[in-house]
Amino acid sequence: MSLKLSDIDWGNDSAERDPNLLKYFVKPSDFDKVSKFRKPIVTGRKGAGKSALRKKLESDFATHPKIVVASVAPTYEVMQAIVQDAEMRDGFGVEIFFTYVWLLHLYRAALIEVGRRLKGEFVSHSSEIARELALKQGQTTPDFLESLKLVLERVKLKAGKLGDLGLEVKDSLENAAKIQALEFHVLELTKSDYTFVFFADDLDLGWDNSEVSNNLLLGLLGATNHIMGRHPNLHTCIFLRDDMYRLLMQSTQHSDKYREIVQVRWESDALMNILMERIRFFFHGKDVHPLIVSFNLVFPQSMGVKDTMKWLYERTLGRPRELLQLARQYTEALDGDQPDGKILSEVEETYSNWKLDDLCSEFRNQYPDLRKIFDYWKTSYDRTKYHLTKDELAQRLEAILIEVPCKQEWFDTLVKRGDVTGLARILFEIGFIGDFIPGGDKGTRIVYSSSIAAHNPRLQEVQIHPCFRKAVRTVERIRKRKTEAGSNPLMEVEIAAEEARIVEQ
């Protein structure tokens, strides 16, 4: 084989910017629940493949002449303009206001899409309205800020402030957004067998966990709930990060309305299929017989005593993006056409540091300055074990609450309470540590928040997740290395010295 493995293109991290995504798309386990409109909300952690799923669904529905897809995604700039606007913070940035802005925006997007398709053919009255909207917008989806300003100016013209509308607020907002007229035309089109699918994605762009930004998203949920209740041919699919969904459910009195969700989760076999589809795509048409294109054409068969795919899976939080990042860093470091376990082991530290940065970025709005905790952990517990008892974890977390100079509200609250358990639960929630559960019917296991939908951690013993161990410079568990050492005297001496140093620390 003359090809270099370093030439493998694993695709773009962003589904929107990956031109080949649909050529090697792998369906997550609950794909049918979304594609058949059984669940209106799709959740998953950052990098779980939500946008890839949306792109696949858009492609599938595009082939159906009577399914109209209206996709909306406010940009970072739009979200920031809204959450930083003085009028939004001073009375307008509430859930009910945003509900009607979203209704206006979604209905207009749907009608514009119908009009874009119709072009010059014979049309009914409602179709003509849709076509006119498309022509006015240049056949593109209207800007969200345009919809917001339209409703805002009409409300201000009538009452000045939203609070001045009193009991008339709902009717006034409905009139300001002209919902009845737009909804009439959408419902008329369903009589011609049109099915409308409303997608909303990339909602974390510009979201900052403020009251206004959360109300903006709750307004979206309220709007989509309203839409689905109007006709069986109206469907919505909202893509939200897990943590954002949980925060929204905690801040609304109507959480029972939004419990029908699909969580995007991946098992090891499915993630291996993601790698394999991209490997096949790369070698297709090249001077390599299809029968020899396999996982082990690129990756070594094992890493130490572990199967390589299991080793790779353990170093992710069960998400495609991070697996592809690790694969990319590995192949880019290769020189030649042969897999190399040593290279894969060497790039683990680079990947681990990237993953820790990614974790801090993912939770920067809920837990700003989270990185300070890990910097302290790395310098204060350098070369210590990654398996900790309850007491050992408590000692570390007490020191962190005392020593780490984090002046953020979430951290100050923990410090004032001396809430070691609260900090431990946060570290479990974000995936940094896992709950070690010895024995029992299921045997000894480690439960991470990324691997199970709901788990109330005991935290009697914990382990740092494998994908972060290199970044915070932990060492292997001593008893595991003793087993692997066998009769190797040099390794036994090394372990004894390391045990002594750990005890001293």
pLDDT in tens, 167-192: 788 999 999 998 998 999 899 999 98
Kindly state whether residues 353 and 455 are assigned to the same domain: no
- Give how far Cα 381 sits from Cα of 394, 400, 463, Å: 14, 11, 14
pTM for the model stands at 0.86
pLDDT for the residue numbered 127: 61
323 and 391 housed in the same domain: no
**pLDDT at residue 118, as a whole number:** 66
Token pair 């990614």: residue: 358
Does 432 lie in the same domain as 352?
no
Listed residue (49, 23, 15, 28) closest to 323, CA to CA: 49
Range of the domain at 139: 41-263
Beta bridge partners of 433: 464
Q: Are residues 328 and 374 in the same domain?
A: no
pLDDT tens digits for range 298-319: 999 999 999 999 999 999 999 9
pLDDT of residue 488: 54
pLDDT at 133: 59
Q: Do residue 415 and residue 344 come from a single domain?
A: no
Task: Say whether both 144 and 206 belong to one domain.
Answer: yes
Three-class SS string for 164-231?
A: HHHHHHHHHHHHHHCHHHHHHHHHHHHCCCCEEEEEECCCCCCCCCCHHHHHHHHHHHHHHHHHHCCC
SS3 sequence, 16-27?
Answer: HHCCCHHHCCCC
pLDDT of amino acid 157: 85
Look at residue 141 in the predicted model and tell me its pLDDT. Answer: 52
Question: Does residue 50 lie in a domain region?
Answer: yes
Give the DSSP H or E segment for 389.
Answer: strand 387-389
Per-residue model confidence (pLDDT) at position 435: 94
Pairwise CA distance, residues 383 & 473, whole Å? 5
Per-residue tokens: 271: 């993630």
Q: Tell whether 15 is covered by a domain.
A: no
Q: How far, CA to CA in Å, does 79 sit from each of 233, 242, 496?
A: 30, 19, 56
Model pLDDT, residue 497: 47
Q: Are 68 and 212 in the same domain? A: yes
Nearest 5°: phi and psi at 307? -60, 140
Backbone angles phi, psi at 58, to 5 degrees: -60, -40
Q: Please check whether residue 35 lies inside any domain of the structure.
A: no
Residue 23 lies in a domain: no
345 and 416 part of one domain: no
CA distance 414 to 412: 5
Q: Residue 126's pLDDT is what? A: 61
User: Which two tokens mark 460?
Assistant: 């009697």
Which residue, 308, 341, 362, sits at the end of a domain?
Answer: 362
Q: pLDDT tens digit string along 9-39?
A: 999 988 889 999 999 999 998 899 999 999 9
Per-residue model confidence (pLDDT) at position 158? 82
Q: Tell me if 403 is assigned to some domain.
A: yes
Flag whether 165 is in a domain.
yes
Q: With a cut of 70, which residues of the chain have pLDDT below it?
A: 1-2, 118-142, 440-443, 451-454, 476-505
